[in-house]
Structure 1
Amino acid sequence: MIRTHGLTKRFGRVRAVDDVDLDVREGDVYGFLGANGSGKTTTVRMLLGLVLATSGDIEVLGRRMPRSARDVLPSVGALIEGPGAYPHLSGRANLATVDAAGPGRRAGRRRVAETLEQVGLDPADRRPVRAYSLGMRQRLGLASALLRRPPLLMLDEPTNGLDPQGIREMRDLLVTLNREGTTIFLSSHLLAEIEQMCTRVGVLDRGRLVVQDELTTLTGPTGLVRVVTTEPARAVQVLSSAGHRDVRPEGETVLVPGRSAEVNETLVRAGVPVAEVGPQRRSLEDVVLEATDPGVFRGAGAA
């Protein structure tokens, strides 16, 4: 659905995007992660032909961009750098302008109403968009992207301005759309949200793509057993005496190579209290912070 090779964008001497090879496959919910200022939005704008690349190749829906933009863009729903709208018009009237080239008037009105309801907006609300909250504007922007039922959605920080309930509703909507066949390319710096909905992840760090893989692969077992106990020092002593090597205490957690059942049996026989035992898995936050500058990403509001 989206492929780039050597995608690069320079602004003077600064490489905002540096030799990026994206691989977004049909059916993906692809999380494009990075700190604010890492080059995410510039990359997305190049994919849509809104900014010209300094060098490199771009394919969207199997067509070269920006050469084929006229043919490609009608099949791509996009929400980039916040929603745009006519502030004096209602949400419904704004969508009607977007859908002006669509099917007959009656079918178009029905589709506009259905799309507003889909994103949690009231089709009967006649207030002008200038009276909308930021979260409502964000929902309207998503409605505009969804209106023509595109096979590919490209969204830049779609949960911006939403409260926790709105973020959850947005997440549920995107997961449902993906199940129905929509491929989603989602740019964000919110790790917790990406981890709950994405199938593949790419991580951008100061313009460079430092991670790209299946989420299940990135967050799979590390080969260590994680033990939670109120007596970590004693657990380390018992496991080391039993022949386990590289036993590491981390607060009330002990990490040890081996099998969960064997580790648990060793500790229980020695009378060490075990609150929890099982394979250690890395969180997406662990993956990202290992691959990037931790100070930069944490400063950008990773959650």
Structure 2
Amino acid sequence: MITTRALTKRFGTTVAVDAVDLRVREGDRYGFLGPNGSGKTTLVRMLLGLVYATSGEIELLGKPVPKRVAEVLPDVGALVEGPGAYGHLSGRRNLALLDAAGRGGSRRTRRGRIGEALERVGLAHVDQRPVKAYSLGMRQRLGLAAALLRKPRLLVLDEPTNGLDPQGIREIRELLIELNRDGTTVFLSSHLLAEVEHLCTRVGVVDRGRLVLEDELAALRAATGRVLVATPDAADAVAILDGRVENRDGERLVIRHEDPAALNALLVRSGVRVRSIDSERRTLEQVVLEATGPGSDRFGEPG
């Protein structure tokens, strides 16, 4: 769905995107992670033909961009750097104008498609108030509704949950998972590690313009060789496990062991009550910090 080869963008002497080889496959929920200023938005804008690359190649839906971008865009929904809208018009009127100016949508079905898009992003109840009276979160929802007008094969989203409260973030996450399940590939650029960890199946990490990591999220979050156990008999468990307990915090133990099932069987046979047991896995934060090194604490800072 998206392929780049040695994609580079320079602004004078500043290298914003540095020889990036990106691959987003059909059906992915791809999280494109990077701290603010790492080149994420510049790369997204190049994908959509809004900014020209200094060098390198881009393919979107199997076609070269920007050369054939006009053929591709009807199948791509995008929300980049916040939604644009006419502040004096209602959300519905803004979507109608946007749809009329685009390609691939029937005028006859326009009203129904606008209603469906607003319903999906939680704005169906909004009256005829002008967009200038919308909150930032409502504007984000309207931008996402615009991206959904033509049931795109590919969604390209830049910080889509910006300005949303926790309930709104969860609703958008559930919507994106549903769209992906129905066949839409999702490419989401973000600096919020927790949101990408909840939503995405595949991750790319960019730092200072370079792609430093790209892999399946499940593979990145591999087991650490430790097991997390909660037991009211923590002291007995420590004695039984003979030095394999690396940390104890009340009833919670961190134990060196490869097999939670075998460890659970051992503890139960020894009379230890086990409230919960699970493999410890690396967090996405740990993975990213290892890949990016010093300065990567810029992740999660407000955009």
Q: What TM-score do the two structures reach when normalised by structure 1? A: 0.87
- Tell whether the 8 Å contact from 1:34 to 1:297 is kept in structure 2 after alignment: no
Deviations 1:116-140 (A, max 9, x none): 1221113662111111111111111
Structure 1 gap ranges (5+): none
Deviations 1:50-78 (A, max 9, x none): 11112211110001111111111222111
Q: How does 1:127-142 map to 2 (within 5 A)?
A: 127-142=129-144
**How far did 1:96 drift?**
0.7
Q: Tell me which residue corresponds to 1:205.
A: 207
Q: Tell me which residue corresponds to 2:77.
A: 77
d(CA) in 1 for partners of 2:288, 2:264 = 30
- Tell whether the 8 Å contact from 1:232 to 1:249 is kept in structure 2 after alignment: no
Q: Tell me which residue corresponds to 2:56.
A: 56
- Please identify, of 130-139 and 106-115, the stretch whose mean Cα deviation from structure 2 is larger: 106-115
- Tell whether the 8 Å contact from 1:24 to 1:30 is kept in structure 2 after alignment: yes
- Tell whether the 8 Å contact from 2:34 to 2:299 is kept in structure 1 after alignment: no
> How many residues of Structure 1 are paired with residues of Structure 2 in the alignment?
298
d(CA) in 1 for partners of 2:270, 2:30 = 47
- Please identify, of 178-187 and 221-230, the stretch whose mean Cα deviation from structure 2 is larger: 221-230
- Distance change (3 Å), C-alpha of 1:137 and 1:92: same
- Distance change (3 Å), C-alpha of 1:263 and 1:111: closer
Q: Tell me which residue corresponds to 1:66.
A: 66
d(CA) in 2 for partners of 1:270, 1:103 = 67
**How far did 1:173 drift?**
1.0
- Tell whether the 8 Å contact from 2:30 to 2:188 is kept in structure 1 after alignment: yes
Q: What TM-score do the two structures reach when normalised by structure 2? A: 0.87
Structure 2 gap ranges (5+): none
- Distance change (3 Å), C-alpha of 1:103 and 1:276: closer
- Please identify, of 37-46 and 212-221, the stretch whose mean Cα deviation from structure 2 is larger: 212-221
- Distance change (3 Å), C-alpha of 1:284 and 1:133: same
Deviations 1:174-206 (A, max 9, x none): 111111111110011122221222111111122
**How far did 1:299 drift?**
5.5
Deviations 1:71-127 (A, max 9, x none): 112221110000001111111111111111555544211211221122111366211
Q: Tell me which residue corresponds to 2:196.
A: 194
The answer on 1:293 being equivalent to 2:293 is yes
- Please identify, of 190-199 and 256-265, the stretch whose mean Cα deviation from structure 2 is larger: 256-265
Identity, in percent, stands at: 63
d(CA) in 2 for partners of 1:238, 1:103 = 68
- Tell whether the 8 Å contact from 2:140 to 2:161 is kept in structure 1 after alignment: yes
**How far did 1:289 drift?**
2.1
